[in-house]
Amino acid sequence: MNSFISTKSKITGSNYKEVFKKATIIFDSIVRKSKRKPYIRSAYFLKQKIFINLFWVHLFDKSFLIRTLRLKYLTAGFELVEKSRIPPSSRDNPNNENEILHRFEGITRDKFQFYVQIKEIKRTGKKYLMSMFGKDE
């Protein structure tokens, strides 16, 4: 599988509070661009909207350690979704037959491998950013 090479590096910080503060600033800059549901446009999906509001819901189901590790990839993950034209590995969701899971692979500027997972609803075609995580996670 080919990897998208990001120009962004991981968010720096040694604890959840530091990383969350920086990630919130980045996330809020995207939220301010839209009056309704926040989204980013994907190059691979021909500039379709990828809604990012479910990312936070999914993230807060995790422990502080997992949240910290996942938030560190926020900038590189957003860049991957916006600019990557490399095909993801796609498969039907084993828990819900009405969804497709797309997993994009990327490498940060500081050489960490990570994945971004997008959920697509088959009936409507809407896409939601679900998660981004490192290879070692």
Do residues 60 and 27 touch, judged by C-beta distance below 8 A? no
- For 123, the token pair is 């009936």
Question: What are the b/e assignments for 68-87, b being 16+ CB within 10 Å?
Answer: bbbbbbbbbbbbbbeebebe
Query: Helix H segments across the chain?
Result: 16-31, 53-59, 64-71, 74-83
Average pLDDT of the chain? 92
The count of other CB atoms within 10 Å of the CB of residue 113 is 12
In tens, the pLDDT along 111-132 reads: 999 999 999 999 999 999 999 9
The CA distance from 23 to 57, in Å, is: 15
Do residues 76 and 5 touch, judged by C-beta distance below 8 A? no
Q: Is the pLDDT of residue 97 over 80?
A: yes
What is the C-alpha R_g of the chain? 14
> Would you give the DSSP letter of residue 107?
E
Q: How does residue 1 score in pLDDT terms, banded at 50, 70 and 90? A: low
pLDDT at 14 (0 to 100): 87
